[in-house]
Chain A
Amino acid sequence: MTATFLPWIVVLMIAVAGVQIGRRLRLWRRGQPAPVDWLGGLRALPKRYLVDVHHVVERDRAAAKMHVPLAGGLVAACGFLLIGLVTGLTAWRFFWALVTLAFLAMTAGALLEIRRRYPRRLARLSGGSWQTFPFALIAFAIASGLSALFATFGNALPALELLTLILAAVGGVALAATAAEGPMRHALAGATHLVVHPRPQRFGGGRSTELKPLDLDAEKLGTETPADFAWNRLVAFDACVQCGRCEAACPAFAAGQPLSPKHLIADLAAASAGGERPPYHGNPYPNARPVGGRIGLHAPIVSAEGVIHPDTLWSCTTCRACVEECPMMIEHVDTIIDLRRFQTQERGAIPLKAEEPLANFRGCDEPNGRVLAERTDFAAGLKLPVIAAGGQTDVLLWLGQAAFDLRGQRTLTALIRILTAAKVDIAVLGADERDCGDLARRLGDEATFQRLASANVAALASVRFRRILTADPHALHVLRNEYPAFGGTYEVVHHTAFLAELAAAGRIPLSPLAGRSITYHDPCYLGRYNGEVEAPRRLLDALGLERHEMARSGKRAMCCGGGGGAPVADIPGDTRIPDLRMAQAAETGAKTVAVACPQCAAMLEGVTGERPVVKDVAELFLEAIEAAAMRPAEAVRALEVEPA
């Protein structure tokens, strides 16, 4: 009996799931066209799933232990049954033993999922249908497993077998029915998403973090309604499994600002369908602002009447922690920037404080309204040649916004001193260096960004250099990864990497700063955006510092709160992101936080009260040089009186 019916139950499930996902498919097709390499995507699917996705899933061991037997068992069992149906293997008892085993594995997985939710579910998981979902899974697994067991041992108890088969059919169809709006959707949409992913370069150890240029001649700039998203982005929203890992990593959520990347993605998945706004069973946006909740394929998303409040959008620091953690490979930052682009460029609906730097960009290419020619003023008395058009240098130093800021100037001064001591051939662009445009772009002002990018690319084309050196990871990211789209491809190094090179080459005598405990705060735009987490640590170790790691470090470090224009948008929360990060730094017991970004330095130095000292790695490096230059006895004494 099982041999006859169980495979057909699977066929029925596939049919039901197909009809259900077909409803979503029709919605996806209403999105904007996007270039997709179907063949390449399909071919890469197994590897993307087994390597890239698993790499992320595995960070949460318990989740991996649950998902492997659960999904593996389900897919294996259904696969076997289909093969059996086609080949006639169902007559063979050993076949049924295999099927039983697969369902056994699935049962074990479902049990583990139940353990994650009972007696108390993990705070980041969703309730509602997600909470009852594992019971449907286990019912189906046990009923089908028993049926298969009966088939293994022959028709011993036909009445019972009939019962288990009916149960299996009911459970299976119930599962398959959730493929449109319920939990099962993540599997089908997730697999599709892996095939049609908008950033295929990020798989297989690659990286793809640059924002894509917006066509400024397009009918509508940015994303207003769900229908304005590229269709494969709509697939991405449906792929969300509401695991909440992104939410747990989000600094804005932690600070009580009204943003949760998980909620945002769930809202967007709900937004395209129209009709009644489906209930959401995860954590609400912290200090949620009321919204009207109107949804629909052509309804504006971000507005007081829509589903997402503008404050949610402007809370994001674009730190990418959510993207890094998402097992479904969803690109939250792209989504947020798309939505911001519409708000800024079509509606001018941007927090007033954030409009100020944008107005300055338009007026004089500098977010604080400073005179470009004054960028080098801080370096009076230092050796810092300005390169003229047609000139040549080995290293072009990109000063960035730090040159206008007292804190940043301390770092840059240290860096220039080091370069002079190491006899590196450097020069700066002087008045031709406009702001790199990072802030404008993250705030959604793509027109301003593109203008600045083109002007800078032109200025850089007029001089000759081997590589660009900068102490600002934001400038680094933009110059290295985003300017190529505007015709400027450069070798850009961050000062941490450059100084690590210098230290390794042993060209300057360094005296170890032994006995000082530090912790290193990874800048998002260096670590997550550019994967550079080793060089800064190598450098700090070379300086003889005693390094303590924070619980969140490297590519999983927490943001300082300074990116993405969040400080200028200034959406209030319960606390401030830099306070949270500084507390994590203090927890390590280190007396100094080493930073590698002017924005991080400014944010962390803004933390009041007793706290570790904030030093840029360049400042620490200079201390080591100066210590080496002193007589040994003096050097020792200097270390003793050092406050840190």
Chain B
Amino acid sequence: MKTTVLLSHARHPVSDRPQLSRLEAQAIALAAEVDEAPSGLHAGRNETGVVAALGHGLTALDRLDLADTTDPLSALAAFLTRQRFDLILAGRRGEGGHETGLLPYRLAAILGLPILADAVAITPGAAVETLVVDQAMAKGARRRVTIRLPAIVTVHPLAPPPRPFAYGPMRRGTIRRHPVDGSANAADLDTAEERPHRLRPKLMRQSAGQAAGANLYVDPTPEEAARLILAYLEANGIRRYGPLNDR
């Protein structure tokens, strides 16, 4: 299965040095499950961060020689159309670049490919040209989906950890540098609005079912309070010790 992993321009949150995004490193680990020699694709001038991908399991890296201020969408789409990958894996968004998180979707729209988000595991399907994807859902739920290839799949942080980095393979990996012809359009940054980051209150999870019922008790005796708390924990499956007199 010919697979490529889209590699964004990421920066380390502490040192601000260019680095490989962890999620994309996880994507590489997934890619290696279905392709013996997965490759990666990056659009940009700076190689220092993304070469690490070769040390995490990619055998080759295609780099489109594109200025950082350029919108990579059309160049990526043109390249992917030429190369005909069966599977295109991506993270959720850049980490330190423009981070719209829209790139995989816009690519899918241009290429006319199906896109599936939040994969934690992938295996080749029973039928040819299909892929079985385990998707991460809210609250740890998983959903198994079979899709027809070619397709774009984005990876969820709960996917298995990346393979440890290895310096030797990084050094031996191939980097193919591709000039981008034609006048690429500058990134459409003007329409974007910039605001200071504001912390938002965390959304409270609605606890499911009956647990949300009447649980306000005014001034109970300590024994009564203890019983109620234990019963609540029991009812919600947090504590499973069985009847109280057991211990």
Determine whether the beta carbon of B164 is less than 8 Å from that of A350. yes
Binary interface encoding of chain A residues 314-352 relative to chain B, with 1 for a CB under 8 A from any of its CBs, else 0: 000000000000000000000000000000111111101
Task: Beyond A350-B164, A352-B161, A365-B15, list 14 extra A-B contacts (CB 8 Å).
Answer: A216-B171, A221-B167, A344-B166, A348-B56, A348-B163, A348-B164, A348-B169, A355-B165, A362-B52, A363-B14, A364-B14, A366-B14, A372-B15, A447-B167
Minimum CB distance partner of A217 in chain B: B171
B168 contacts chain A at the CB level, 8 A cutoff? yes
Minimum CB distance partner of A374 in chain B: B14
Could you say which of A352, A370, A372, A446 contacts B164, with CB atoms under 8 Å apart? Answer: A352
Determine whether the beta carbon of B167 is less than 8 Å from that of A371. no
A369 contacts chain B at the CB level, 8 A cutoff? yes
Determine whether the beta carbon of B167 is less than 8 Å from that of A216. yes
Write out the residue numbers on chain A whose beta carbons fall within 8 Å of the beta carbon of B12.
363-364
Write out the residue numbers on chain B whose beta carbons fall within 8 Å of the beta carbon of A362.
19, 52, 165
A residues with a Cβ closer than 8 A to B are 216, 220-221, 344-350, 352, 355, 358-359, 362-366, 369-372, 445-447
What 4 A-B pairs come out closest when comparing CB atoms? A348-B166, A364-B15, A346-B168, A355-B164
Could you say which of A220, A369, A370 contacts B168, with CB atoms under 8 Å apart? Answer: A220
Could you say which of B14, B15, B166 contacts A347, with CB atoms under 8 Å apart? Answer: B166
Inter-chain CA distance A220–B165, complex, in Å, is: 16
What are 27 pairs between A and B in contact, CB < 8 Å? A216-B167, A216-B171, A220-B168, A344-B166, A345-B167, A345-B168, A346-B167, A346-B168, A348-B56, A348-B165, A348-B166, A350-B164, A355-B164, A355-B165, A358-B164, A358-B165, A362-B19, A362-B52, A363-B12, A363-B17, A364-B12, A364-B15, A364-B17, A365-B15, A366-B14, A369-B14, A447-B167
Inter-chain CA distance A481–B19, complex, in Å, is: 31
B94 contacts chain A at the CB level, 8 A cutoff? no
Shortest C-beta distance, B7 to chain A (Å), equals 16
Could you say which of A345, A352, A365, A366 contacts B166, with CB atoms under 8 Å apart? Answer: A345
Inter-chain CA distance A478–B166, complex, in Å, is: 23
Inter-chain CA distance A358–B161, complex, in Å, is: 14
Determine whether the beta carbon of B55 is less than 8 Å from that of A348. yes
Write out the residue numbers on chain A whose beta carbons fall within 8 Å of the beta carbon of B163.
348
Shortest C-beta distance, A259 to chain B (Å), equals 21
Minimum CB distance partner of A365 in chain B: B15
Could you say which of A221, A359, A369 contacts B165, with CB atoms under 8 Å apart? Answer: A359
Could you say which of B14, B19, B56, B166 contacts A346, with CB atoms under 8 Å apart? Answer: B166
Minimum CB distance partner of A447 in chain B: B167
Could you say which of A345, A348, A371 contacts B14, with CB atoms under 8 Å apart? Answer: A371
Minimum CB distance partner of B57 in chain A: A348
Number of chain B residues close to chain A: CB under 8 A = 17
Determine whether the beta carbon of B169 is less than 8 Å from that of A363. no
Determine whether the beta carbon of A346 is less than 8 Å from that of B161. no
Write out the residue numbers on chain A whose beta carbons fall within 8 Å of the beta carbon of B55.
348
Inter-chain CA distance A114–B52, complex, in Å, is: 59
Inter-chain CA distance A588–B171, complex, in Å, is: 53
Write out the residue numbers on chain A whose beta carbons fall within 8 Å of the beta carbon of B168.
220-221, 345-346
Inter-chain CA distance A352–B167, complex, in Å, is: 16
Write out the residue numbers on chain B whose beta carbons fall within 8 Å of the beta carbon of A216.
167, 171
Write out the residue numbers on chain B whose beta carbons fall within 8 Å of the beta carbon of A344.
164, 166-167
Binary interface encoding of chain B residues 1-29 relative to chain A, with 1 for a CB under 8 A from any of its CBs, else 0: 00000000000101101010000000000
Write out the residue numbers on chain A whose beta carbons fall within 8 Å of the beta carbon of B52.
362
Shortest C-beta distance, A618 to chain B (Å), equals 29
Inter-chain CA distance A371–B166, complex, in Å, is: 24
Within 8 A of A (CB), among B31-57: 52, 55-56
> Could you say which of B15, B17, B55, B163 has the most chain A C-beta atoms within 10 Å of its C-beta?
B15
Shortest C-beta distance, B239 to chain A (Å), equals 26
Write out the residue numbers on chain B whose beta carbons fall within 8 Å of the beta carbon of A365.
15
Write out the residue numbers on chain A whose beta carbons fall within 8 Å of the beta carbon of B169.
346, 348
Write out the residue numbers on chain B whose beta carbons fall within 8 Å of the beta carbon of A369.
14
Inter-chain CA distance A364–B16, complex, in Å, is: 8
Inter-chain CA distance A350–B167, complex, in Å, is: 12
Determine whether the beta carbon of A363 is less than 8 Å from that of B167. no
Inter-chain CA distance A625–B84, complex, in Å, is: 75
Shortest C-beta distance, B137 to chain A (Å), equals 25
Shortest C-beta distance, A454 to chain B (Å), equals 15
Inter-chain CA distance A220–B167, complex, in Å, is: 11
Inter-chain CA distance A189–B161, complex, in Å, is: 46
Write out the residue numbers on chain A whose beta carbons fall within 8 Å of the beta carbon of B161.
352
Write out the residue numbers on chain A whose beta carbons fall within 8 Å of the beta carbon of B167.
216, 221, 344-346, 445-447
Shortest C-beta distance, A207 to chain B (Å), equals 30
Determine whether the beta carbon of A363 is less than 8 Å from that of B166. no
Inter-chain CA distance A347–B164, complex, in Å, is: 9
Write out the residue numbers on chain A whose beta carbons fall within 8 Å of the beta carbon of B14.
363-364, 366, 369-371
Shortest C-beta distance, B209 to chain A (Å), equals 37
Determine whether the beta carbon of A349 is less than 8 Å from that of B164. yes
Shortest C-beta distance, A268 to chain B (Å), equals 22
Inter-chain CA distance A364–B165, complex, in Å, is: 15
> Could you say which of B12, B52, B56 has the most chain A C-beta atoms within 10 Å of its C-beta?
B12
Minimum CB distance partner of B19 in chain A: A363
Within 8 A of A (CB), among B105-154: none
Write out the residue numbers on chain B whose beta carbons fall within 8 Å of the beta carbon of A364.
12, 14-15, 17
Write out the residue numbers on chain B whose beta carbons fall within 8 Å of the beta carbon of A370.
14
Within 8 A of A (CB), among B161-192: 161, 163-169, 171
Write out the residue numbers on chain B whose beta carbons fall within 8 Å of the beta carbon of A349.
164
Write out the residue numbers on chain B whose beta carbons fall within 8 Å of the beta carbon of A220.
168
Write out the residue numbers on chain A whose beta carbons fall within 8 Å of the beta carbon of B171.
216
Write out the residue numbers on chain B whose beta carbons fall within 8 Å of the beta carbon of A371.
14
Inter-chain CA distance A185–B74, complex, in Å, is: 70
Minimum CB distance partner of A220 in chain B: B168
Shortest C-beta distance, B10 to chain A (Å), equals 10
Minimum CB distance partner of B14 in chain A: A364
Shortest C-beta distance, B227 to chain A (Å), equals 34
Write out the residue numbers on chain B whose beta carbons fall within 8 Å of the beta carbon of A359.
165
Minimum CB distance partner of A342 in chain B: B168
Shortest C-beta distance, B28 to chain A (Å), equals 11
Write out the residue numbers on chain A whose beta carbons fall within 8 Å of the beta carbon of B165.
348, 355, 358-359, 362
> Could you say which of B56, B163, B168 has the most chain A C-beta atoms within 10 Å of its C-beta?
B168
Minimum CB distance partner of B25 in chain A: A359
Inter-chain CA distance A445–B163, complex, in Å, is: 15
